[in-house]
């Protein structure tokens, strides 16, 4: 720090504890990253402070493509999705649900707003979860990948999903639509393998 201060204009702000809304908590074996206050602010913004908690971020049995539902406020929907996308920095388990719901930002309906509220209810019940980066001797990379076969109502494009661990720590994850339509259930699997192997090689 002193060597940098000789060359650059720096100010000592004390121990590192917050960065862009992410709380950094030193632990006995590493660092814990949390956005609990950000979750509280988000729940308050959308009137979900007193909502009933749920144990999962998404109900997979809900058909999000029903078009008879009333149109919902586009601005409110986009604000909610934007906050959830930022929250996924330390909460990778909501990434799939957020990616799915972000596909309806152009013209959301009340039907799609209900799953957004479910994600918020899930966050209320898991307020203090986050990412724990632990020190350790293992430098091994472990990666998992998967994909679905695209729904014709969604343009037929499959969803790519992968997560990569460096030792015991999650360091990279992704949920995204593939760029082209696959003609079999095997093609999207090879596409996601290509993407996540490239990510592993980069790491």
The model carries a pTM of 0.80
Average model confidence (pLDDT) across the chain: 84
> What pLDDT score does 69 carry?
78
The fraction of the chain above a pLDDT of 70, given in percent, is 92
Closest to 102 measured CA to CA, from 127, 85, 121: 85
With a CB cutoff of 8 Å and minimum separation 6, the contacts of 128 are 34, 36
pLDDT digits (tens, 9 = 90+) for 152-174: 566 667 777 788 888 888 888 87
**According to the 3-state scheme, what is the secondary structure of 122-135?**
HHHHCCCCEEEEEC
> What pLDDT score does 68 carry?
74
> What pLDDT score does 53 carry?
92
d(CA 51, CA 125): 10
pLDDT beyond 90 at 79: yes
Distances (CA, A) of 11 to 4, 150, 179: 10, 52, 46
Of the pLDDT bands very low, low, confident and very high (cuts 50, 70, 90), residue 120 is very high
> What pLDDT score does 182 carry?
66
> What pLDDT score does 63 carry?
72
d(CA 176, CA 179): 9
> What pLDDT score does 62 carry?
74
pLDDT digits (tens, 9 = 90+) for 5-51: 788 887 777 777 778 888 888 888 888 999 999 999 999 999 999 88
Helix ranges (H only) for 88-178 are 95-102, 110-125
Element (H, E) at 91: none
On the CB side of 129, CA atoms within 13 Å amount to 14
> What pLDDT score does 151 carry?
63
d(CA 76, CA 29): 40
Coil vs helix vs strand at 172: strand
């Amino acid at each position: 720090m002193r060597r940098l201060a000789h060359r650059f204009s720096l100010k000592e702000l004390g121990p590192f504890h917050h960065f862009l809304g992410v709380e950094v908590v030193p632990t006995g074996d590493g660092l814990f990253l949390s956005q609990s206050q950000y979750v509280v602010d988000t729940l308050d913004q959308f009137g979900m402070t007193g909502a009933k908690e749920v144990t999962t971020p998404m109900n997979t049995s809900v058909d999000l493509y029903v078009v008879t539902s009333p149109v919902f406020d586009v601005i409110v929907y986009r604000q909610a999705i934007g906050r959830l996308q930022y929250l996924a920095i330390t909460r990778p388990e909501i990434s799939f649900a957020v990616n799915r719901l972000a596909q309806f930002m152009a013209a959301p309906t009340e039907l799609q707003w209900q799953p957004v509220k479910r994600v918020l209810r899930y966050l209320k019940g898991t307020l203090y979860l986050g990412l724990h980066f632990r020190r350790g001797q293992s430098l091994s990379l472990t990666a998992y990948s998967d994909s679905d076969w695209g729904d014709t109502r969604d343009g037929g494009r499959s969803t790519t999903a992968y997560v990569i661990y460096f030792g015991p720590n999650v360091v990279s994850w992704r949920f995204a639509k593939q760029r082209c339509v696959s003609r079999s259930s095997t093609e999207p699997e090879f596409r996601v393998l290509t993407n996540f192997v490239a990510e592993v090689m980069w790491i």
